[in-house]
């Protein structure tokens, strides 16, 4: 004989629509994290243009450090004046090509390297503090 006690409640399953909503929110959250990790600079990481038709100003950038982000903002300020004469590029430390560039030229986050059409270093600057200081590294902007 069974003793009467609290009635056993059957286990309730989670409704399917709640599972779907949870899954959609989880995927959306993961997509947001990935989206935030994408570069926002508008300045290319393609270093294959070094040694091409125009000089190239390369910023060594490590997203885990702040100096490069500050220098990147300075580059954005001066780029419109020089975009016809100089290519602006980033040696991203999260990419093998960027790490190789930094090793070859002995640069670290926030450092700038100016290379001529023969891929020879013609100027260097360690973490400029303002756009005027950065402009000292560059030749006179072309007149339009």
The pLDDT tens digits along the chain (144 residues) read 555 555 666 677 888 899 999 999 999 999 988 877 765 657 888 899 999 889 999 999 988 888 888 898 899 888 888 888 899 999 999 899 999 999 999 999 999 999 999 999 999 999 999 988 988 888 876 665
Q: How far apart are CA 92 and CA 53, in angstroms?
A: 22
Q: Which region holds residue 17: left if phi is over 0, alpha if psi is between -120 and 50, else beta?
A: alpha
Find out whether 143 and 87 touch, Cβ atoms under 8 Å. no
Run of H or E including 92 = strand 87-92
pLDDT score, position 60: 94
Q: Partners of 58 in the beta sheet?
A: 89, 113
**Comparing C-alpha atoms, which of 121, 115, 126, 123 is closest to residue 67?**
126
The domain 47-137 belongs to what CATH superfamily? Glutaredoxin (3.40.30.10)
Nearest 5°: the CA angle 132, 134, 139 is: 95
**Comparing C-alpha atoms, which of 137, 117, 141 is closest to residue 127?**
137
Helices (H), the chain: 16-37, 67-82, 96-105, 131-137
pLDDT score, position 13: 85
Q: How far apart are CA 11 and CA 9, in angstroms?
A: 6
pLDDT score, position 119: 92
SS3 86: coil
* Domain residue ranges in the chain: 47-137
Q: Partners of 60 in the beta sheet?
A: 91
């Amino acid at each position: 004989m069974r003793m009467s006690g609290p009635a056993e409640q059957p286990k309730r399953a989670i409704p399917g629509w709640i599972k779907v909503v949870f899954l959609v929110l989880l995927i959306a959250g993961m997509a947001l994290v990935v989206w935030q990790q994408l570069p926002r600079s508008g300045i290319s990481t393609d270093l294959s243009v070094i040694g091409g038709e125009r000089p190239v100003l390369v910023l060594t950038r490590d997203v885990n450090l702040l100096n490069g982000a500050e220098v990147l903002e300075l580059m954005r300020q001066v780029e419109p004046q020089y975009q016809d004469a100089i290519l602006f590029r980033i040696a991203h430390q999260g990419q093998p090509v960027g790490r190789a560039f930094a090793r070859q030229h002995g640069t670290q986050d926030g450092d700038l390297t100016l290379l001529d059409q023969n891929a020879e270093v013609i100027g260097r600057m360690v973490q400029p503090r303002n756009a005027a200081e950065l402009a000292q590294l560059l030749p006179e902007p072309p007149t339009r």
